[in-house]
Amino acid sequence: MTSHPRDEERRWWKEAVVYQIYPRSFKDSDGDGVGDIPGIIEKADYLADLGVDCIWLNPVYESPNADNGYDIADYRAIMDEFGTMDDWEQLRDELHKRDIKLIMDLVVNHTSDEHAWFLNSRASTDNEFREYYWWREGRDPEETDLDPEVYDTPDDVNEVPPNDWESFFGGPAWSYDEDSGEWYLHLFDRKQPDLNWENEAVRDEVFEMMEWWLQKGIDGFRMDVINLISKPEGLPDTDPENDIETIDRAVNGPNVHDYLGEMRERVLEPDFLSVGEMIGAPMPMETARQYVTPGPEGDGLSMIFHFEHVLVDRGDDALELTEWTLPDLKAIFDRWQDGLAEAGWNSLYFNNHDQPRQVSRYGNDSEYRRESAKLLATLLHTLRGTPYIYQGEELGMTNYPFESLDDFRDVATLNPIRSALEAGEIESFEAVKDRARAMSRDNARTPMQWDDSEYAGFTDPDSTPWIDVNPNKETINVEAERADQNSVWHYYRDLISLRKEHDVIVYGDYDPLTPGHESLWAYTRTLGDDSLLVVLNFSDDETQFESPEDLKGANAEILISNYEADVSDVADAVLRPWEARVYDLR
């Protein structure tokens, strides 16, 4: 049984609740329809009232916005639409004044094609910046299975790319450059060329830039697709016969641990929160442990965002949906809770700016919206790890009722649908509408709902938001929920404050009780003499929980629940639809 953590095992970022802000959609202060940094400053008290400990700010750097800021043109400048460096400094100070830390998004697998490095790199084949990116000659189509028709090259160029990799946003991962007659690699949009980390000069630039931000007083980084930075030797083609796709080629490359080790030595400290986004799934647990084991044995990241639970309902291609089951979901979480029990630390999330809204996906966003939003929150805030709240999640915000392709803004939705339409693979948007609605990243990007006014208080009524406001802002909004003691918002606030009072929530061992059950997820958390029992009913029906013998008759008190519950006996409890109970078993 784990006892209370020794001081050296404690970290602020283990005890923290992180709140993610997608600035474009949070709060617009100047009426241009786009959220901005002064807007976030206006809401600093809101964040403090909710009780969160740290903000993760999505990219606010100068960017042409091919991918909403994930295509950075200048790492040391703030995007005009979002404000100025003075605004950013004020935000940092306003947060710190309220004891809220701030971590920045670090996007260094790629830059924008409008970054000075890439503009230089593109200008000639022999200058120092050429080696900052992945430039290669094309191949003779005869020597490959690739169809030259598919690629966007001038008519007199009969070439196919250096390999057959596909962009994660659809289409080829290489674009042809007419001036130099070579191709450059971009695992995402063509406006996001991949940096060549093999080049020491690139690593120096990145580490200096990180240091520059740390000197400005930030508390860490969220590292965008950081497990893509090392590419495999020789950039080999995929191998469909052996089920090896682009993603398998691209993730966790041969030098990734060396690069991160160098980063740890040169810029990171254990007290910074460093959370690495790790795409591709499943990830071998050994690899995961290497990322999150403190240095010098490991890479020393605080934690990672893996993707296994957010791929549970996806098929092979980006827009394919499959059924998910609770036992599958539990198996994923159990594997990670167990895998990082001794070494490393977990992050806990269902939502972010890339995922549909959790209550629409894993809960029931109609009849039991409130109950299921609270149940999902209970889960994320009582597993072992650091919970991340994505803006609006604390209101139980839902997916958006998208009707046509024009409603979408996201490249990751638009690119593949447009290519499928162009290639005649689908006849119209209707063919993929259901999937796009369920899965688009735009679900998470509709404006934060502050009140029930025209644009939900996100922007001026006489302006136009960059993406539509969800019509359910009439009832789901901050103002209404703060006024209602039973709201999802108050429940989040209670969960956040419970974490501060109970070490067992942060540091306790996790033991699952119902791994195979179709609709119940029950587990205990134990730290010394402290013990919690969590029981969650993931269904629209009443479900009986048969408690293990040793818990029957235990002296239990409800710590938090999403229903009125006055139950002290945990034996054979009948849980109502989407009921969540946390018992203190002391």
Q: Would strands 18-21 and 386-390 be described as parallel, antiparallel, or unpaired?
A: parallel
Q: CA-to-CA distance for 67 and 369, rounded, in angstroms?
A: 31
Contact between residue 183 and residue 135 where contact means Cβ atoms under 8 Å apart: yes
Question: Comparing C-alpha atoms, which of 258, 301, 255, 311 is closest to residue 280?
Answer: 311
Q: Output 115 or 353, the one with its CB closest to ligand GLC.
A: 353
- Mask 277-306, x = binds ligand GLC (CB under 6 A)? x-----------------------------
Which listed residue (13, 22, 61, 70) binds ligand GLC by CB under 6 A?
A: 70
Instruction: Give min distance, CB of 534 to ligand GLC, in A.
Output: 29
Question: Comparing C-alpha atoms, which of 257, 284, 112 is closest to residue 192?
Answer: 112
Which listed residue (28, 67, 313, 371) binds ligand GLC by CB under 6 A?
A: 67
Give the burial string for 526-556 (b: 16+ CB within 10 Å, else e): bbeebbbbbbbbbbeeebebebeeebeebeb
Q: Would strands 573-575 and 543-545 be described as parallel, antiparallel, or unpaired?
A: antiparallel
Q: Output 41 or 55, the one with its CB closest to ligand GLC.
A: 55
Q: CA-to-CA distance for 77 and 58, rounded, in angstroms?
A: 14
Instruction: Give min distance, CB of 22 to ligand GLC, in A.
Output: 9
Q: Does residue 410 touch ligand GLC according to CB under 6 A?
A: no
Residue in 164, 277, 354, 371 annotated catalytic:
277
The whole-angstrom distance between residue 554's C-alpha and the CA centroid of its chain comes to: 39
Give the type of residue at 161. Answer: P
Peptide bond into 270 cis (omega under 30): no
Which listed residue (224, 365, 442, 481) binds ligand GLC by CB under 6 A?
A: 224
Contact between residue 374 and residue 491 where contact means Cβ atoms under 8 Å apart: yes
Q: Does residue 400 touch ligand GLC according to CB under 6 A?
A: no
Instruction: Give min distance, CB of 353 to ligand GLC, in A.
Output: 6
Q: Output 188 or 333, the one with its CB closest to ligand GLC.
A: 188
* Residue 479 neighbours by CB under 8 Å, 6+ apart: 450, 451, 452, 457
Residue in 224, 313, 393, 394 annotated catalytic:
224
Count of positions on this chain that bind ligand GLC (CB under 6 A): 9
Q: CA-to-CA distance for 476 and 488, rounded, in angstroms?
A: 10
Q: Output 182 or 277, the one with its CB closest to ligand GLC.
A: 277
Q: Output 228 or 420, the one with its CB closest to ligand GLC.
A: 228
Contact between residue 103 and residue 57 where contact means Cβ atoms under 8 Å apart: yes
Q: Does residue 225 touch ligand GLC according to CB under 6 A?
A: yes
Q: Output 355 or 531, the one with its CB closest to ligand GLC.
A: 355
Instruction: Give min distance, CB of 412 to ligand GLC, in A.
Output: 6
Q: CA-to-CA distance for 56 and 387, rounded, in angstroms?
A: 12
Q: Cα dist. 93→88, 102, 185 in Å?
A: 9, 10, 39
Instruction: Give min distance, CB of 229 to ligand GLC, in A.
Output: 12
Question: Comparing C-alpha atoms, which of 560, 556, 558, 563 is closest to residue 579?
Answer: 563
Q: Does residue 354 touch ligand GLC according to CB under 6 A?
A: yes
SS (H, E, C) 260-302: HHHHHHHCCCCCCEEEEECCCCCCCHHHHHHHHCCCCCCCCCC
Residue nearest to ligand GLC (CB): 70
Q: Does residue 350 touch ligand GLC according to CB under 6 A?
A: no
Place of tokens 């691209």: 250
Instruction: Give min distance, CB of 419 to ligand GLC, in A.
Output: 17
* Residue 126 neighbours by CB under 8 Å, 6+ apart: none
Q: Output 34 or 534, the one with its CB closest to ligand GLC.
A: 34
Q: Does residue 390 touch ligand GLC according to CB under 6 A?
A: no
Residue 534 pairs in a beta bridge with 523, 582
User: Please, what is the end-to-end C-alpha distance for the chain in angstroms?
Assistant: 15
Instruction: Give min distance, CB of 293 to ligand GLC, in A.
Output: 24
Q: Does residue 107 touch ligand GLC according to CB under 6 A?
A: yes
Instruction: Give min distance, CB of 230 to ligand GLC, in A.
Output: 16
Instruction: Please count the helices (runs of H) and the strands (runs of E) in the chain.
Output: 18, 20
Q: Output 309 or 353, the one with its CB closest to ligand GLC.
A: 353
Residue 221 pairs in a beta bridge with 104, 274
Helix, strand, coil % over all residues of the chain, rounded to 5? 35, 15, 50
Residue 166 pairs in a beta bridge with 172
Q: Output 64 or 141, the one with its CB closest to ligand GLC.
A: 64
Q: Output 390 or 583, the one with its CB closest to ligand GLC.
A: 390
Instruction: Give min distance, CB of 562 to ligand GLC, in A.
Output: 30
Instruction: Give min distance, CB of 188 to ligand GLC, in A.
Output: 5
Count the residues in the chain: 586
Q: Does residue 188 touch ligand GLC according to CB under 6 A?
A: yes
Q: Does residue 221 touch ligand GLC according to CB under 6 A?
A: no
Instruction: Give min distance, CB of 318 to ligand GLC, in A.
Output: 12
Q: Output 225 or 292, the one with its CB closest to ligand GLC.
A: 225
Q: Does the annotation mark 224 as catalytic?
A: yes
Catalytic residue positions, numbered = 224, 277
Residues that bind ligand GLC (CB under 6 A): 67, 70, 107, 188, 224-225, 277, 353-354
